[in-house]
Chains A and B, each alone.
Chain A
């Protein structure tokens, strides 16, 4: 047995004894019904999601399927100069091809670990989104890790059908988002208020998160 293994076993043994040293006060985990704020019956999840996402400082552009490419093109033109590198990290191959075509010659070559630090914009799709908090859920399932946090601008494409009512649904639904090596729930642009409580965005992650909401 390795030292590591015996240390782990020793900890387990001590925890076992410690648990028994006091009476068990809670035998069952209580119902989490009160935790849920938004249900599936809520009239328009897309509206709620858009409102909440805006409230935490993300920008939402609403389009229909036909308007998607134009919206992404506009956002790239707004944020990135002609020579700025763009990384596309999509699980949806079809979307990836479309976004890559829009990025054109600015598309970063996907061949080294430093790639992300050289990019100005990261375009991703999402595993799902959460209406209650206006959050995006992005995992490494089919995506380059951290494409949503390293470049200064994150463009996220969300389809209305991907919106879950409540955070509770992320943990109860059948989504495989949490099976990935890494999953991040994003609720706003990177932010700090460490210096005298003054809010500053873009400290490590993106200063701007642009959501394209496709209905």
Chain B
């Protein structure tokens, strides 16, 4: 698997974050794109839902939470209805099992001289289970058909955003890859580049033996899957090949189409500020008698890979996530460090809580211990300013800051916090209990900050670019603004004497 999203554990976030902050191009791309998407998201909800936006989020939150609270019933109903439609349902406890199921389906077709090539629609869970390396190792040539994922695939790169996977790459890199890998003529025009990719993939669609996709929702009443794309690549991936496999995490289940509208109205608006994705596709069973096109076999692989453990834990809420990417776009930390800093296919605020939790739930012997997954990702709970922008942006109201704080507590309990953190807090407490000393200390800090602060040419404020001693880490990748004017205490005592 690609070490960018499946790094050696325990994972140290800091070197990657430092590198990302120094990369001016990445700062520009990711910063601009996320800021724009975040603004557009606010705009479309204002326009279409106004004051009722919050009520819509509450409906979506409760509808999805209902599904999780009744997941056993829904799962049973889904399996029965999917089988009634002619689909085959499989279950995988681990990612490895999920891959093995797909490989055995492929082998059954290899026996008939097929299953040498696969067209794959974008799916987070297949990244999670490492399907692509497993298929390649078995000699099944696999094509990522989502344009962004395709460009990452030919570059040996990995997605850095849930919705816009190649947010960290530019047209120049794409142009060079297309010359190198596809023998295309050099062009930096995004339309021409897109058409080169289109032409390349058309032939591969026609020839493919297996189609693979994820799913955005599973409908228990109908036994069908709902897949949202803008490019139409899912429809082509499922329409041509004789076999289609849908990999899907069990948390994607909802009661049925009767509960779908709130999620569809929130998903595309939250992710890309569209009313709906261009294609919202429903798949219900294999092709039927007399029909032209569509798979002769349709398989669902229901993936656990830690989800059952999360369902049983106090973090059940995390499974409400519909992977819209809004929290990434809203997050001041993601905007600076980019997706690869999180060492997971799930980046940003939701990734910071979900990645250690899925790891814990799959952790074998220590699986029941809260905090076991954190030992492998000790930096993630701290990769947040706890500003709450992620919670505000979340269409299903997952209280991400609450879970980040919860994880920070677990880190301290297990002695996984840096020693300086405990020492700093102890010093703070000691000072705070001694008012005179506290005042003097604060005064000294203010004085030093003013002496060391440097005026920025951009504005009139003074900034500290390098703090000495224990504060050095803080200014390694950012500047600290110097407080100007009177202090709160000065202001408060003046106000009191009025």
Contact = CB atoms under 8 A, between A and B. Distances in A.
A129 to B, nearest CB: 13
B231 A133 contact: no
B90 A32 contact: no
A45 interface: no
Given A7-B92, A15-B308, A181 B260 contact: no
B198 A202 contact: yes
A174 interface: no
A184 B261 contact: no
Given A24-B69, A26-B66, A189-B278, A204 B293 contact: no
Interface string B72-98: 100110010000010011111100010
Interface stretch (B163-171, B384-392, B485-493): B163-171
Contacts of B308: 11, 14-15, 18
B222 interface: yes
B69 A186 contact: no
Contact of B280 (A32, A184, A196, A202): A184
B111 interface: no
A110 interface: yes
Given A171-B257, A196-B29, A117 B202 contact: yes
A81 interface: no
A110 B171 CA distance: 40
Contact of B63 (A30, A183, A191, A197): A30
Interface in A1-53: 4, 7-8, 10-12, 14-19, 21-22, 24-32, 34-35, 37, 52
Contact of B59 (A30, A110, A188): A30
Interface in B305-357: 308-309, 311-314, 316
Contacts, number: 266
A172 interface: yes
B52 interface: yes
Interface string A109-142: 0100110110000000000000011110000100
Contact of A204 (B201, B255, B264): B201
Interface stretch (B284-292, B401-409, B449-457): B284-292
B71 A15 contact: yes
A23 B123 CA distance: 31
Interface in A159-183: 166-168, 170-172, 178-183
Contacts of B70: 19, 24
B90 A191 contact: no
A195 B284 contact: no
Given A29-B255, A145-B239, A181-B286, A204 B291 contact: no
Given A8-B89, A145-B293, A204 B233 contact: yes
Contacts of A97: none
Contacts of B417: none
A183 B227 CA distance: 11
Interface in A60-90: none
B431 interface: no
B262 A184 contact: no
Given A8-B79, A29-B255, A194-B147, A182 B282 contact: yes
B56 interface: yes
B284 A180 contact: yes
B63 A16 contact: no
A200 B230 CA distance: 11
A132 B311 CA distance: 36
A143 to B, nearest CB: 9
Grouping DSSP codes into helix (H, G, I), strand (E, B) and loop, the A interface class, with mixed when no group exceeds half, is loop
Contacts of A135: 276
A193 interface: yes
A35 B261 contact: yes
A37 B261 contact: no
Interface stretch (B9-17, B189-197, B469-477): B189-197
Contact of A30 (B58, B91, B206): B58
Contacts of A28: 66
B371 interface: no
Interface string B394-406: 0000000000000
Contacts of A197: 33, 36, 164
Contacts of A200: 190-191, 194
B147 A192 contact: yes
Contact of A29 (B146, B259, B285): B259
A186 to B, nearest CB: 6
A110 B292 contact: yes
A25 B65 contact: yes
A100 interface: no
A86 B237 CA distance: 22
A182 B238 contact: yes
B174 A195 contact: yes
B148 A22 contact: no
A37 B250 CA distance: 30
Nearest to B237: A204
A19 B195 CA distance: 48
Given A22-B311, A203-B232, 19 more contacts: A7-B92, A29-B63, A34-B59, A35-B56, A144-B292, A167-B264, A178-B222, A181-B283, A181-B286, A182-B282, A183-B284, A184-B279, A185-B281, A190-B231, A195-B147, A196-B171, A198-B191, A200-B194, A205-B235
Interface of A: 4, 7-8, 10-12, 14-19, 21-22, 24-32, 34-35, 37, 52, 56, 110, 113-114, 116-117, 132-135, 140, 144-146, 149-150, 166-168, 170-172, 178-198, 200, 202-206
12 contacts: A7-B91, A8-B302, A19-B70, A22-B69, A32-B262, A52-B275, A116-B239, A170-B257, A184-B281, A185-B281, A194-B147, A202-B194
4 closest pairs, A vs B, by CB?
A205-B232, A145-B293, A194-B148, A18-B312
